[in-house]
Structure 1
Amino acid sequence: MLQIVFACFLVCLVSLSGGLLLRLFGSLLHSVIPWLLAVAIGVLLADALFHLLPEALASSATVWPVLSWLVVGLGVFFLFERGLNWQHRVFHRAYPPAMASFGWVSLSVDALHNLIDGALIATSFLLDPALGWATTLAILLHELPQEISDTAILVAAGASLKKAVGLNLLAASTVFIGAALVLSLGQILTLPVATLLAITAGGFIYIALFDLLPRLQRPVNIRVLGLQISCVAVGMVFIEVLHLLNAHH
């Protein structure tokens, strides 16, 4: 039990890494954000297409339920963002919203993702403590680039760096909820892991393609376009290298 709590605490601690690293950029923060968004696109797409979806498929007997829930994930987060936009138009006419709607969408997807991580950590520790720590290490390696991207997305959405770090920590705390669900309901309820993974993948794809991609600055020449593509590739390669390193351990 204490090992599970400590592992979840480490995941929450990593959520602060994005703010710490962005803080080091200081006055260069706003000039770096557009390029970090391009990196974030690569991280989100690589995570969704190369990890979350394959894990969901491995947990499901057939392909169609996973693809169906992937489409549901896209639709859910589309409607969620449209609902936020409507709320801002109705209730914030006199005062501009503190953060753009895509920031809240990113935050909700991150919260769901951390809830899944908590469930995986608890399940692994219940099976074998060694497996639990291996799973925790894999999640920590995965979360490092993810948290940098999440913090950059929140800052780009209009949040201050301090607020972005606080919101990111709040979203990361759902890891405890996921672990608690497994510990309390594990004998009664089997969590639909494949469904949650597919919905999360849909959310990641939605944010990357429909929120972040249109917000990249319009390329003024082939050099800027090449740099943007390179940043996307860096995000994809970085998370792949981390997963490969973890697989060899």
Structure 2
Amino acid sequence: MTTLLQILAATLLSSVLSIVLAGLISFKFLDRYMSKMLCISAGLLLTVAFTHLLPEAFEIHENAASVGWTLLVSVLFLFCLEFALSHQHHSHVNPPEHTISEYIKGSQKRSSGAGNAILIGDAFHNFTDGILIASAFMVSSGLGWVTALAILAHEIPQEVGDFMVLLHSGFERSKALLWNVISGLTSMLGGIAGYFLLDRVEWMVPYAFAIAAASFIYIALSDLMPEIAHQEKPERFYVQLFFILIGMAMAVLATGGLHEH
């Protein structure tokens, strides 16, 4: 098998398989544990962003300020995106009301910018993973497959969090799976780009990490955490905080030893 075919197979394995496995986990426990899984997803997203994506971006890029500006601009862009989608939703006077994302997905369920933002961030993240896998295969096949398996391992808990955000944003289960898979396929594009243009596109890697981190942070703090914080019963808040900590622990266990690719 040629190096390019191995890269394509490895990126497909690390992205699509992790999404399918995460979907099975999410859907199996969704109905009974939806609120708890939202808390877990918030912990997952924040931990992956602050302890994996951003450190990786700062480590790769010599100019930390550039990464910081990318993070800031990305957060502001997502804020504007959510405002635009919300404004579009409320500007319809006559039912049925649709947001831009609902037109795209053909769904009339409630939607917000959160689902769209998580897909955008994931696409950048998966594209970067593809470049990382390609760079590993350029060294050796063994290193390439080990890298792909490592990425698969740390993608599963993150994808569980993504599914919770998409479902919470109004995506149907089939739509959430479909769009997550489409987002995951960008890893193959990253693998192809890495194979043919590694020397030219390597500069994009830290920026892609920063954009992905911005989307995860924004979603957790603007869409998930406020709902958790606005609890009338203190005991319910502490229960939810406990599940946020569980999500953080899951992310640490899955990615703690896999930061260096």
Q: TM-score, normalised by structure 2?
A: 0.86
Q: Structure 1 residue 8 and structure 2 residue 11: aligned?
A: yes
Report 1:95-244 matches (<5 A). Answer: 95-97=96-98, 98=107, 99-216=111-228, 218-244=230-256
Could you say if the C-alpha distance between residues 115 and 30 of structure 1 is closer, same or farther in structure 2, counting changes exceeding 3 Å?
same
Note the C-alpha offset of 1:192. Answer: 1.8
**Preserved CA contact (<8 Å) 2:229 2:237:** no
Could you say if the C-alpha distance between residues 119 and 90 of structure 1 is closer, same or farther in structure 2, counting changes exceeding 3 Å?
farther
Unaligned runs of 5+ in 1: none
The CA distance in 2 between the partners of 1:244 and 1:46, in whole Å, is 10
- Of 237-246 and 65-74, more deviation after overlay is shown by 237-246
- Of 90-99 and 114-123, more deviation after overlay is shown by 90-99
The CA distance in 1 between the partners of 2:197 and 2:87, in whole Å, is 37
**Preserved CA contact (<8 Å) 1:38 1:216:** yes
**Preserved CA contact (<8 Å) 1:122 1:182:** yes
The CA distance in 2 between the partners of 1:227 and 1:155, in whole Å, is 22
- The match for 1:54 is 55
Unaligned runs of 5+ in 2: 99-106
The CA distance in 2 between the partners of 1:92 and 1:200, in whole Å, is 35
Deviation per CA, 1:33-75, whole angstroms, max 9, x where unpaired?
A: 2211111111111111111111111111132222121111211
The CA distance in 2 between the partners of 1:93 and 1:125, in whole Å, is 55
The CA distance in 2 between the partners of 1:236 and 1:208, in whole Å, is 12
Could you say if the C-alpha distance between residues 228 and 173 of structure 1 is closer, same or farther in structure 2, counting changes exceeding 3 Å?
same
- The match for 2:22 is 18
Note the C-alpha offset of 1:221. Answer: 2.4
Q: Structure 1 residue 37 and structure 2 residue 38: aligned?
A: yes
The CA distance in 2 between the partners of 1:92 and 1:150, in whole Å, is 31
Q: Structure 1 residue 70 and structure 2 residue 82: aligned?
A: no
Note the C-alpha offset of 1:218. Answer: 3.4
The CA distance in 2 between the partners of 1:144 and 1:103, in whole Å, is 18
Note the C-alpha offset of 1:126. Answer: 1.2
- The match for 1:88 is 89
The CA distance in 1 between the partners of 2:178 and 2:27, in whole Å, is 14
Question: May I ask how many residue pairs the two structures share in their alignment?
Answer: 246
**Preserved CA contact (<8 Å) 2:121 2:214:** no
**Aligned with 2:97: secondary structure?**
coil
**Aligned with 2:96: secondary structure?**
coil
**Aligned with 1:236: secondary structure?**
helix
**Preserved CA contact (<8 Å) 1:73 1:201:** no
Could you say if the C-alpha distance between residues 89 and 62 of structure 1 is closer, same or farther in structure 2, counting changes exceeding 3 Å?
same
Return the letter of the residue paired with 1:241: L
- Of 130-139 and 227-236, more deviation after overlay is shown by 130-139
Return the letter of the residue paired with 1:17: L
The CA distance in 1 between the partners of 2:195 and 2:67, in whole Å, is 26
The CA distance in 1 between the partners of 2:158 and 2:202, in whole Å, is 27
Note the C-alpha offset of 1:231. Answer: 0.9
Could you say if the C-alpha distance between residues 189 and 174 of structure 1 is closer, same or farther in structure 2, counting changes exceeding 3 Å?
closer
- Of 130-139 and 232-241, more deviation after overlay is shown by 130-139
Identity %: 32
